[in-house]
Chain A
Amino acid sequence: MSAATGTAMQGDSGAPVGRFREFWGYFSANAGAVLGLVIVITVLLMALLAPVIAPYPPDLTNNAVFLKPPFWQDGGSLAYPLGTDAIGRDILSRLIHGARLSLVIGIAVVAISVLIGTVLGLTAGYFRGFYETAVMRLMDIVLTLPSLLLAIVIVAILGPGLMNAMLAVAVVVLPHYVRIARAAVISESSRDYVTAARMNGAGHLRLMFSEILPNCAAPLIVQASLGISTAILDAAALGFLGLGAQPPAPEWGTMLADAREFVLRAWWVVTFPGLMILITVLAFNLLGDGLRDALDPKLKR
């Protein structure tokens, strides 16, 4: 993504090149952030190419190979490199297909909450008054309840399932975006350029979305990147509790829930799905930290 934008921009010699170069300079100096980016791209490719690179379809069972260990252990074979689960499904294939679910969850949750959160926060910070108080009080309530508890309650009302779990997580993370957007709008709307645009006859919508919003983008982008990791983690936790994606979906948290009863005799069914969650979440956190440092060098220590 960044590489493509980079080559496209090198042709011009205007201000955007400088801005991108400056950003990339900060970003690429951060080894952790680059590592995070590489892992994220790898997981992305895994998700996109899942049907091509996975040795088996994710739901294909083989009753000849229940709980086969990974290839480096006695009894394992390269036909099932990471072993099989209790009903003879290839774990590697399920993990690769699971990348699709986790990325879709992460991106969809963040997209929903950024969209709604930005609109609520922008309007709250722009119009102020009773509307602002009502919105912010509501967000306080959401923030007060422990995040997973609230998500569980929402899923209990809507019924378990991947879609409802995603909605629940989106609601739970919403306050962060509302707060960021509102704070940014309040600090921006007293600036001269906003007054100038208003003098020029710009309406509310234009002031909010095309004048103020672009100048509040940086913190929202950073929060969104960090938010993907929270979304993946929370959705996996719901899956683990049996409230998220339902079996046989190869969602990593759901796979762990299935594997729990085999913890005593088959370590591989428990270890690998969790490792995928950890690596993916860690990568998005590294990426988010790198973006924050690069987009806001003032904060850099």
Chain B
Amino acid sequence: MLRFVLTRLGLLVPTFIGMTLVAFFLIRLVPGDPIETLAGERGIDAARHAALLKEHGLDRPLAVQYTLYIGRVLHGDLGKSMITQAPVLSEFKSLFPATIELALCAILFALLLGIPAGIIAAVKRNSIFDHGVMGVSLTGYSMPIFWWGLLLILLFSVKLDLTPVSGRLDVKYFVEPVSGFLLIDSIMAGDKDAFRSALSHLILPAIVLGTVPLAVIARMTRSAMLEVLGEDYIRTARAKGLSQFRIVSLHALRNALIPVVTVIGLQVGVLFTGAILTETIFSWPGVGKWLIEAISRRDYPVLQGGVLLIGTMVMVVNLLVDLTYGIINPRIRHQR
């Protein structure tokens, strides 16, 4: 097991270095020189230009610049936003809980619906329910979620007037940020109305963001379940006279969930991609919207830092998924 963990950790290093290279060159590949980009449209005179180049170390050789950059990154210094002048890391930290809250609710929605749907579809294979689940799942998988969000707004916010169109909390409420998760913070503050407001703001974005994972999880659960239900030990359980419910929930489900766990882990990247679109549609104040705004404002340090942070996070989660997989499925550990 130790060897397995060390190998996986070792594989992380070159990927991380590669990612810092991507982030490092990102700002240097943008057409035009970074100082002029920093100065914006006001322009800059030659003396000040040279001074700024020196100040930012941009007159040194690329290799030196990269080494300095890595040094700063490892000390948690990801530069400053060109617009707000705030450190990128602290901006990220303040916005990240909003994205996590949204993503957790989305994955919860996907799990609560997807796993039961997948199990029932597998057990009642080829029934109308099975075909329905597979059809809906393929549709969900093909869904342009930016459009799906607009449709839900059209139906629930405009037609039925049930949910707010955008934002995270009604302006009349204020909740002291403790965990950064509004649902938890409002409960801790004992403010029921704020909790209700936060929840009603969260529902539509969570459904939109959870749609693609839901489709993937339902499909994966069904096919994993079908595979397990064909195994000999299930036949043995049947021959022993166990009830269908006991066989499915006790014997089959545990093994069927192994590939599903991996798939859930792999949804992290999908969730970030979806968060960019979902947050844009619902004006959700998270890192996805922050990054898109950084692009339209040409705020390159934010983009650079954000890409590195999100990339690293996805990488770490993937590693954790790999390790969990090794723990719950001993067959994997012993392979190379």
Contacts and interface: CB of A to CB of B under 8 A. Distances in A.
A237 B142 CA distance: 12
How many interface residues does chain A have, given as a range?
Answer: 35 or more
Contact of B277 (A159, A241, A278, A285): A241
A215 interface: no
Contact of A156 (B19, B30, B141, B143): B30
Given A141-B15, A237-B146, A278-B143, A157 B291 contact: no
28 contacts: A32-B138, A137-B15, A138-B18, A140-B15, A141-B15, A141-B18, A144-B269, A144-B315, A145-B307, A146-B314, A149-B310, A156-B295, A157-B26, A157-B29, A236-B146, A240-B147, A241-B292, A242-B296, A253-B144, A256-B144, A263-B154, A267-B154, A271-B154, A274-B148, A277-B147, A281-B142, A285-B138, A289-B138
A264 B19 CA distance: 41
Contacts of A274: 144, 146-148, 150-151
Given A145-B310, A146-B310, A148-B276, A271 B151 contact: yes
B14 interface: yes
A233 B276 contact: no
Interface of A: 32, 137-138, 140-141, 144-149, 152-153, 156-157, 159, 229, 233, 236-237, 240-243, 253, 256, 260, 263-264, 267, 270-271, 273-275, 277-278, 281-282, 285-286, 289, 301
B127 interface: no
B116 to A, nearest CB: 21
Interface in B127-175: 138-139, 141-144, 146-148, 150-151, 153-154, 158
A110 to B, nearest CB: 16
Contacts of A260: 150
Nearest to A233: B144
Given A146-B273, A256-B144, A274-B144, 12 more contacts: A140-B15, A140-B18, A144-B314, A145-B310, A146-B276, A146-B314, A149-B291, A233-B142, A237-B277, A241-B292, A264-B158, A285-B142
Interface string B298-336: 000001000100110011001000000000000000000
A15 B35 CA distance: 66
